[in-house]
Structure 1
Amino acid sequence: MTKNIVFLMTLLVGVLFTSNSCTDLDEIILDETSATGLSDKQAADGNLAPVYAVLPTLFQHTTYFALQEISTDEAILPYRGGTDWGDNGIYLALHTHTITSADPNVRNTWTTILTGISRSVTAMNALATNPDPVAKTYLAEARGMRAYYNLLLLDLFGLAFIKNDLGEISTIMRGSEAVNFLRDELLAVEPDLLTTVGPGRLSKAGAWGLLARLHLNAAVYRDPYAATFDFKAEDMDKVIEYADKIIGAGQHQLVADYFAIFNTDNHTNKELVFAVDQRAELNGHNRLAYFSLSGDQFPLAPFPAANGTDGPAITPDFYRTWVDAYAPTDPADIDPRFHRQNWTIPADSCVDGATFNMNRGILRGQQYGFLRVNGAFVKCADGKLKVGKLYSASRNKPTLAVNFTEKVDFTVAGSDYSSGYRVLKYEFSKKSASGRNLGDVDIPIVRLADVYLMRAEAKLRKSNDAAGALADVNAIRAARTFSKPAPALTSMNLDLLFRERGFELYWEMLRRSDMIRFGKYEGIWTEKNNTDKSKRLFPIPQTAIDGASNIPGYLKQNQSY
């Protein structure tokens, strides 16, 4: 492949990636004839952009989010009303750890990750011979992204695919071999990465964050079915070292407003270290916002078709961790990460639709919002929009209130449309005409609070440095001064740190990995009593195994599937 030819990947349309740095990367889809006349810089831009363009697809609600959240004690998705989200029981199986190798969400996640690896290798090959000065940095980013996609594959499926050319058959690595390879790859590219790019590209700090995460989870990756994990002191030292580098560099800051981290304008938020660049002009999606909301919640005055979908709720088990931590005080009154009350309006009031903002965080009880009749919002005499108590009109149940309850399970009552407290953590994009498209929120992959929490955990695991860990946790709590910050904790241990990670990082696709590392994934929670440790890894899709059948023994199914 010459430097002027970019692989045309399926399902790739338009301009999908740009950066806020001094260098803009526009995806250019080329064939051999149209490549003539491109500058080396344009070719390099076109090589790298597809590598990042995979990320919005990977971070959709039914791919990586589903695997990392609905499989845990944090999220549950029942068969709503016996009509919605049934999907042949795949979400019930995901939550109960009875999933099979035919699961479409597992297959789609696997395929998307492998697409990311393939695009990274394509870019590496093209950029290696490009003489433009940017090619050296771009090559480091592509190689680093190959490591990142393989890190996800190792975490979810217990293996990594390594190749340097698309014509090669990948080498499969597992355990210590995979850990060591990914470590060496990230270390190799770090010197050539920049410090001046936005969070949507892999920077030095981004590589340090991935290295910290790799070392923190290395004990799990080396022996995923272990009865107890061997957290080596040298790994914990590396977690602390890379966390120190990120914190000490001073480029990133803990921000006062917790929910601003997940606002539609968060691309410049100082807490983001590495993120999915999801600005609307990049063809982002809004699914992490709409997924949990009621079908009768319509957040946008200009778009009366943009609503929720009555998807997952938090489990009562996860909710009770908040209640138990702060009893007898309501968690909404003491921890600003739990809930943001953006408006309190009694029934039958009128509001200016242009300034309306939904409440954020964990949503409980009777919900209020725009009243909608025959597909249009009801207006008051002054032209403002009428708001009031919401009912399940979209479900043909106009007398059933949208009143979110703590109880949610797989029973008929527990699967009702209002069952379960909901989450609106990522701001609902004001450009989303359908409720699903044009998401603006950059989705965090690594952010500074997680870096502090990883360092705190490493301190505890290495030398039981409770004082050092406590200082890191309380630094995060103290920083959230937009409203009254959560009170400082007075003690710290691994169980408290696990709880704190839940409070800080809920709905951010880290829960499954956290539960495995803390030895809690075989626990019992709402509708889940499977204690089989072999379910820590997902099944390799049967389609992948079948596709590799011409190479005997090449791709072996994970244990118990």
Structure 2
Amino acid sequence: MNMKNFKIFYLLIALSTIISCTDDLNVVSEDPRTTTPEALFSSFAGYKQALAGVYGNLSLTGTGDAGSSFLQGIDAGTSQFGRTLWYLQNLTADEVVWTYENDEGVAELQRNTWTANNPVILGFFSRTMAEVAFANDFLRQSTPELLASRGITNANEVAEINVFRGEVRVLRALAYYYMMDVFGKAPFITESNPIGFKGPEYNREQLFNFIESELTEVLPTLKDANTNEYGRLDKAVAQMILAKVYLNAEVYIGTAKYTECMTQCQSVMAGGYTLNTNYLNNFKADNHTSNEMIFTLQADGVRTQNYGATTVIINGQVGSFEGNGSEFGVGGWGGALRLRKQLVQKFDGGSFSNDVRNTITDNNGSRPIDIAVLTNAGQGHILHKFSNKTSAGVAGPNSTFVDTDFPLFRLADVYLMYAEAQMRKDGATNGSNVKNANTTSIGYINDLRVRANNGSTSANVGAGDVDLQFIIDERARELHWEGHRRQDLIRFGQFTGGNYNWAWKGNIQNGTSISDNLKVFPIPSNSIVANPNLTQNQGY
């Protein structure tokens, strides 16, 4: 059964059930259909329902309607995983602004003035640690001893539940990867700890070591790339997380791991993924059919309605006076999202005149490139990248909640990661103009350029064109609005300080230097109160 449909049928009950037996979360059950763990875990089908719940926490916020949240005291709009991840990685950087600054927490993020009381930061922390809690509970409930005691002894079913366990361990490692990246620390809790346990604080090095060892150990138990149901992870997802961890290792632990990153990238590329011949089809309502996708956050406009990343992006894309929601199959939110000048300028020059990745418009000159007032929806260019229409032009059934999955990991990213890791391994450093991309790396870059130019080689580059600044600019051109930008800028030494400023960086229209402590977000004040083992990050 396709996981996208499977999840839709069983997710709500599964989430309620896991919540009801996970007291180490500050959660409240919202669904009267909640059953007991004993009832849910009495059959193989129940375990698959519970597995859907662990995945589902990455897409939904609660067991009611789109506005529901099982995280007590935290609004659904500030706690959906993909949306809060997107806010923290993109809204804080040089790509996009949000018009409605009265929305909780948004103004602080896009002006780089956040504090430990920001509700979006709290929502991301809580949602990501909820994923850890759900994973831990699934692992507690699926030990060989418990399976046997519940009469689940069929060899095939036991083997499949062990596959489930491997996937859940990867989901937990994914959660800790984002905690390591965003906060630089996290409370550490596993299935070995009792419910209600207040985990000790793990620093970046401890989290790095756990993620690396956990993924390395679990890899052989996972299904091969491209052999699992859509929406469920496989070996390539674990390899992708490892590649990300290794690419950023100098930031995380002060030790370069570029050879290891290249190895993991090669393993992902060997998994049978291919670039979608149409770049924009990766961002449409049927993007689950794209063989470029490695792992997505799922969306369904009818059966899993939520204010997640793609619902926000696609409705937000609609221009304030263009009213072009029909282009994307949505109604739109009156110009909620606009582009910072620096992203627009990444496409300056004749080599990008036919680049399909350039979906930016100034509406025939009526939109100024500069944003003098962040709340003025008529200032700043707008984007046309994501859509709630299929590749055949058919709009999703709901004009607010979209069918478009969020591409957390896709193959194009792997190509650019490999090229960057190769260059850094061979001596390129931040701020240098070393041009040492080898033939393989240039080939991967040009694969993306050819795709972006409808098969033409007119915009291809040679080794003499490619330094690290080219790589980060190309990442912006290829991957903008996909949840990577803050991390990329930090890795390239361009997020804090003043050597690269963007519009409204540091709450100044033309941008200004910001302090190094902003490379990680503060631990939410409420989270420190809940777990006294946690300490605040320096500078907050």
Q: Partner of 2:444 in structure 1?
A: 472
Q: Which stretch shifts more, 466-475 or 511-520?
A: 466-475
**Counterpart of 1:293 in structure 2: which amino acid?**
V
5 Å matches for 1:436-451?
A: 437=401, 439-451=402-414
1:198, 1:268 within 8 Å by CA — same for their partners in 2? no
Q: Partner of 2:415 in structure 1?
A: 452
Cα separation, 1, equivalents of 2:97 and 2:244: 26
1:513 paired with 2:487, answer yes
Cα separation, 1, equivalents of 2:171 and 2:82: 21
Task: Return structure 1 stretches of 4+ with deviation > 6 angstroms.
Answer: 11-14
Q: Which stretch shifts more, 481-490 or 165-174?
A: 481-490
Q: Partner of 2:276 in structure 1?
A: 255
Deviation at 1:174, TM superposition (A): 1.0
Deviation at 1:199, TM superposition (A): 4.8
Q: Judging by fraction of residues, say which structure has more strand.
A: 1
5 Å matches for 1:113-128?
A: 113-128=128-143
Deviation at 1:189, TM superposition (A): 1.3
1:212 paired with 2:243, answer yes
1:533 paired with 2:533, answer no
Deviation at 1:102, TM superposition (A): 1.0
Q: Which stretch shifts more, 261-270 or 91-100?
A: 91-100
Change (3 A) 1:182 1:507: same
Change (3 A) 1:476 1:309: same
Q: Partner of 2:168 in structure 1?
A: 142
TM norm structure 2: 0.78
Q: Deviation per CA, 1:132-161, whole angstroms, max 9, x where unpaired?
A: 331100000111101101111111111133
2:19, 2:28 within 8 Å by CA — same for their partners in 1? no
Change (3 A) 1:542 1:33: closer
Q: Partner of 1:21 in structure 2?
A: none
Deviation at 1:122, TM superposition (A): 1.0
Output the aligned Cα RMSD: 2.9
Cα separation, 2, equivalents of 1:338 and 1:265: 21
Cα separation, 1, equivalents of 2:479 and 2:458: 15
Cα separation, 1, equivalents of 2:216 and 2:84: 29
Deviation at 1:409, TM superposition (A): 3.4
Cα separation, 2, equivalents of 1:151 and 1:267: 24
Cα separation, 2, equivalents of 1:41 and 1:75: 45
5 Å matches for 1:25-424?
A: 30-32=34-36, 35=39, 40-57=43-60, 62-77=83-98, 80=99, 84-87=100-103, 90-128=105-143, 129-130=146-147, 131=152, 132-133=157-158, 134-165=160-191, 166-195=195-224, 196-222=227-253, 230=254, 232=256, 235-249=257-271, 251-280=272-301, 282-285=303-306, 286-295=311-320, 297-300=323-326, 306-323=331-348, 326-327=349-350, 331=352, 333-339=353-359, 362-366=360-364, 403-410=366-373, 415-424=375-384
**Counterpart of 2:345 in structure 1: which amino acid?**
R
SS at the partner of 1:363? Answer: coil
1:101, 1:540 within 8 Å by CA — same for their partners in 2? yes
Q: Deviation per CA, 1:199-256, whole angstroms, max 9, x where unpaired?
A: 522210111111100111111112xxxxxxx552xx111111111111123x200121
SS at the partner of 2:187? Answer: strand
Ranges in structure 2 where 5+ consecutive residues have no aligned partner = 1-13, 21-26, 61-78, 390-394, 428-435, 506-511
Cα separation, 1, equivalents of 2:416 and 2:80: 22
2:80, 2:123 within 8 Å by CA — same for their partners in 1? no
Q: Which stretch shifts more, 122-131 or 51-60?
A: 51-60
Ranges in structure 1 where 5+ consecutive residues have no aligned partner = 15-27, 223-229, 340-361, 368-402
Change (3 A) 1:315 1:12: farther
Cα separation, 1, equivalents of 2:326 and 2:29: 29
Change (3 A) 1:279 1:516: same
Cα separation, 2, equivalents of 1:68 and 1:486: 32
Q: Judging by fraction of residues, say which structure has more helix.
A: 2
**Counterpart of 2:451 in structure 1: which amino acid?**
A
5 Å matches for 1:419-434?
A: 419-428=379-388, 430-431=395-396, 433-434=398-399
1:61, 1:287 within 8 Å by CA — same for their partners in 2? no
TM norm structure 1: 0.75
1:555 paired with 2:520, answer no
Give the length in aligned residue pairs.
457
SS at the partner of 1:476? Answer: helix
Cα separation, 1, equivalents of 2:80 and 2:266: 28
Cα separation, 2, equivalents of 1:34 and 1:306: 44
1:306, 1:433 within 8 Å by CA — same for their partners in 2? no
SS at the partner of 2:370? Answer: coil
Q: Partner of 2:3 in structure 1?
A: none
Cα separation, 1, equivalents of 2:522 and 2:199: 19
SS at the partner of 2:379? Answer: coil
- Which structure would you say has the larger Rg? 1
1:487 paired with 2:459, answer yes
Deviation at 1:30, TM superposition (A): 4.3
Cα separation, 1, equivalents of 2:93 and 2:280: 23
